[in-house]
């Protein structure tokens, strides 16, 4: 087949156009055939005709003519075929055989490395999984498509959406924050969103709110990777968000009978939601990749949150160049989002310099901590900012800032940027869309609790004191109220 393809290239000058986006030199088994094909590619790139004489001259220039067997071998190639009509079919068969050889080599390499005592199994799996995916991508490289065909398919999707609302929208994940969803159109598959803020601004709370909304309101399976809090503390927060009882009250068991019933109801709600929580500390990018792949393929995960970026590691070994490591992790997360076709939200810290800044202390892109690669790789970068946290009681227009949180979209690769205002009730740490009339005023714990729509629930819990230490050791929250 290799001889047939090369012979066809040498007898018909336009034959290369049929296979140039299919066949690579390394796909040929015989080294001599690789060099001959490289020579034809060089001629094509220079706009020169491809035939027996020009190919021989090009091989001589490349100092490869004797390596391939001399002019006599190149001449023999043209005697083995009369037409180039089957060249594309033969080229695809060559690609198939090359991929089989690659798989054989990979499996042998996996076996050798797996027997080594010092091998990192997660890194091993991640590296070879990437190689297989790259092999798959090479084998399915797309060819140019007519613009008219693209328009037809787009309008066809539009007709489906009009006839069956929601049929196409499932490809995006909605957050439940109306202004954010309006700007982004929902979080699109394959994007990396960075959510950054100073400590105590509510990064974890906001991301958990998105997770709960995506699951409870829009039916998406979700994953939350907590590198800082235990999985029990994450569930405490979710119980608080659903029940309307603050985390401290639940953890300290300081509840009356009515409140216990609310938590039981919250437990029943949570049991029916597809939220997967992992609290592995200092997880490496290889471990995260392996876990998230399994969740996507086995559980149908539609969105994932990592809390937070600076606590991840690129490898098991500690790095002395933290900025380079964070850059490597950020690039890997973006590649993972593209591979799995899901949005990934990574929380991030910002520099302390914002605290010493005069004025309103709103964060900006230059405040992102440890790596400019974060800004470069992210599709969306958002900052959380609460003016009243800094004792600023009025904005520039004289409006009261109490209870107002700003979500500042400083980068949006495919759309507009701007600031989204959210309403905040301190007692329950709940956030909602600013002008949502369904959002109730704070009520006493003894009053009847009025359930909020999922889009209005927001929590920045009390599981840690100001020094960052746990108030008390917690058990599994879902077992606390069993008879």
The reply to whether 228 belongs to the active site is yes
Q: Which residue among the candidates 42, 113, 228, 375 is catalytic per the annotation?
A: 228
The Cα-based distances of 217 to 1, 25, 176, 191, 255 in angstroms read 56, 52, 8, 21, 28
Burial of 61 (0-12, 13-18, 19+ CB in 10 A): exposed
Task: Assign residue 124 a region (left: φ > 0; alpha: ψ between -120 and 50; beta: otherwise).
Answer: alpha
Catalytic residues, by residue number, are 228
């Amino acid at each position: 087949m290799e001889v047939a393809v090369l012979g066809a290239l040498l007898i018909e000058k336009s034959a290369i156009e049929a296979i140039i986006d299919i066949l690579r030199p390394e796909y040929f088994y015989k080294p001599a055939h690789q060099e001959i094909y490289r020579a034809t590619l060089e001629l094509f790139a220079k706009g020169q005709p491809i035939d027996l004489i020009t190919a021989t001259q090009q091989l001589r220039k490349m100092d490869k003519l004797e390596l391939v067997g001399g002019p006599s071998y190149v001449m023999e190639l043209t005697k083995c075929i009369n037409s180039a009509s089957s060249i594309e079919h033969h080229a695809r068969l060559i690609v198939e055989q090359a991929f089989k050889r690659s798989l054989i080599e990979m499996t042998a390499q996996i076996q050798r490395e797996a027997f080594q005592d010092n091998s990192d199994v997660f890194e091993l799996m991640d590296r070879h999984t990437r190689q297989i995916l790259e092999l798959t991508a090479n084998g399915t490289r797309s060819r140019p498509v007519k613009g008219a065909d693209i328009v037809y398919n787009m309008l066809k999707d539009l007709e489906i959406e009009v006839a069956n609302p929601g049929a196409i929208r499932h490809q995006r994940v909605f957050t439940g924050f109306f202004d954010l969803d309006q700007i982004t159109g929902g979080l699109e598959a394959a994007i990396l969103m960075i959510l950054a803020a100073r400590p105590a601004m509510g990064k974890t709370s906001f991301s958990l709110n998105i997770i709960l909304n995506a699951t409870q309101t829009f039916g998406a399976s979700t994953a939350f990777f907590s590198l800082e809090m235990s999985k029990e503390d994450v569930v405490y927060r979710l119980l608080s968000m659903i029940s309307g009882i603050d985390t401290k009250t639940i953890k300290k068991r300081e509840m009356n009978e009515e409140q216990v019933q609310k938590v039981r109801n919250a437990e029943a709600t949570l049991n029916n939601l597809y939220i997967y929580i992992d609290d592995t500390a200092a997880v490496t990018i290889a471990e995260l990749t392996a876990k998230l792949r399994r969740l996507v393929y086995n559980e149908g995960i539609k969105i994932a949150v990592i809390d937070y970026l600076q606590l991840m590691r690129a490898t098991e070994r500690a790095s002395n160049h933290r900025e380079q490591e964070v850059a490597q992790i950020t690039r890997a997360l973006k590649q993972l989002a593209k591979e799995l076709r899901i949005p990934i939200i990574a929380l991030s810290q910002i520099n302390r310099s914002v605290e010493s800044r005069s004025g309103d202390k709103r964060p900006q892109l230059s405040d992102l901590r440890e790596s400019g690669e974060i800004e470069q790789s992210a599709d969306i970068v958002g900052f959380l900012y609460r003016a009243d946290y800094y004792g600023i009681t009025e904005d520039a227009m004289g409006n009261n800032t109490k209870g107002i949180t700003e979500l500042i979209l400083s980068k949006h690769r495919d759309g507009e940027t701007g600031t989204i205002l959210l309403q905040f009730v301190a007692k329950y740490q709940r956030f909602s869309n600013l002008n949502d009339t369904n959002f109730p005023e704070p009520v006493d714990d003894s009053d009847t609790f009025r359930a909020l729509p999922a889009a209005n629930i927001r929590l920045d819990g009390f599981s840690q004191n100001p020094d960052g230490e746990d108030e008390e050791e917690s058990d599994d929250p879902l077992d606390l109220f069993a008879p």
